[in-house]
Amino acid sequence: MAVTRHNILKDANSRTQYANGVMLLKREASGRTTTDFGVLGPTAPLSTYDLFVVWHHQTMMTLTPPNNSAGRNAAHRGPVFLPWHRVMLMLYEKNLQRVLADANFGLPYWDWSADGDHTPAKQKKSKLWATDCMGGQGTPVKKGPFKFKATDPQSFRVRIEGDMFSRLQATNRGLERQFAVSGVTTLPTSQNVKDALQVTPFDDPQWDADSDGFRNVVEGWIGGPPDEPGLHNRVHVWVGGDMLPGTSPNDPVFFLNHCNEDRIWESWMVKHGRTYVPKMNAGSALKGHRIDDPIASPLGAATRPRDVLNVSGIYTYDALVP
């Protein structure tokens, strides 16, 4: 039976379960170590949660094809952006269900556009940042379920980060967030999302961060205010701190953001059809982004974009974008 993903701003049970599940994954030994992934620093065990951080960062560092001038990597700046993150979210959700011992748990989403419709000051006071939810900003965050306490080794800690050369290195610090200080002062609005849903086709033959099409608008390379990012990218930049680099899954808000991105994609497919491009005949230069190219994962079997165009038997949303 399909689970339902709820709006975390409106569902108290989702807030509690999500925070509990994150901490359980953070404390669960994965059986892998930093050495397994070439992480700089002394060998240290990795949690199941940390494997998602490593996976995302490594994928961002994998250009497709190698050395392409557009900067297209195995999960971003190209058509596979939405399917890749859908696969990641599904594996994350399964692991949360496992540690929570609740097969009916659905990964919640953050409808950031509802917050984006408020004033800049109110955006920083969203229910999302309350003590019983994500806990607000700080360097480090000092309230909520992911607060850092130096004397408590069980408190939420960032264990992997990128250095100045984008190499993974071991660390041991608190989670960091700095709202609206990195060049973006407001979140996307509901009108921004509605405008994105009118854009067709899914992608176009430029297949990169300059493409015209829904994927590039929802990813946020185009469609935002002049010289500013839009939608997905805008949320990362607005939250700031650990949401900025390739290790952005260090912040549990990462998954709430991408769950909302997935909800927007699902809303688009309901309107325009479950279509995906490029097809396999697009050429080997687009390997990794074509409809039947495998999305490899260190946490599960490879899945193709084609396989995740209709996931209604696995999960649904409590509400799509009208």
Helical pair 190-197 and 253-272, crossing angle rounded to 10 deg: 40
Mean pLDDT over 131-141 rounds to 97
Q: H or E stretch including 96?
A: helix 81-100
Q: What is the pLDDT of residues 69-99, one digit of tens each?
A: 888 999 999 999 999 999 999 999 999 999 9
DSSP per position, 242-311: GGSSTTGGGSTHHHHHHHHHHHHHHHHHHHH-S-----GGG-GGGTTTSTTS-EEETTEEEE-GGGGS--
Q: Examine the pLDDT at 301 and tell me if it is beyond 90.
A: no
Q: What is the pLDDT of residue 42?
A: 92
Percentage with pLDDT > 70 across the chain: 100
The rounded Cα 320 to chain-centroid distance in angstroms is 18
CA-based diameter of the chain, in Å? Answer: 57
278: cis peptide before it, omega within 30°? yes
Q: What is the pLDDT of residue 244?
A: 97
Q: What is the pLDDT of residues 24-46, one digit of tens each?
A: 999 999 999 999 999 999 999 99
Q: What is the pLDDT of residue 247?
A: 98
Q: What is the pLDDT of residues 154-175, one digit of tens each?
A: 999 999 999 989 899 999 999 9
Q: List residues bridging with 46 in a β-sheet.
A: 32
Q: What is the pLDDT of residues 98-119, one digit of tens each?
A: 999 999 999 999 999 999 999 9
Separation between Cα atoms, residue 66 and residue 74, nearest integer Å:
10
Residue corresponding to tokens 């509990």: 20
Give how far Cα 57 sits from Cα of 104, 160, 175, 249, Å. 29, 10, 17, 9
pLDDT band at 65 (very low <50, low <70, confident <90, very high): confident
Amino acid at position 316, single letter: T
Q: What is the pLDDT of residue 299?
A: 74
Q: Examine the pLDDT at 300 and tell me if it is beyond 80.
A: no
287, two tokens: 């390997």
pLDDT band at 296 (very low <50, low <70, confident <90, very high): confident
Percentage with pLDDT > 90 across the chain: 92
Domains and CATH numbers, the chain: 3-317 (1.10.1280.10)
What is the value of pTM for the model shown?
0.97
130 in Cβ contact with 144 (< 8 Å): yes
6 in Cβ contact with 14 (< 8 Å): yes
Q: What is the pLDDT of residues 5-18, one digit of tens each?
A: 999 999 999 999 99
67, two tokens: 């050395």
Q: What is the pLDDT of residues 222-270, one digit of tens each?
A: 999 999 999 999 999 999 999 999 999 999 999 999 999 999 999 999 9
Query: What is the overall mean pLDDT for the chain?
Result: 96
Q: What is the pLDDT of residue 68?
A: 82
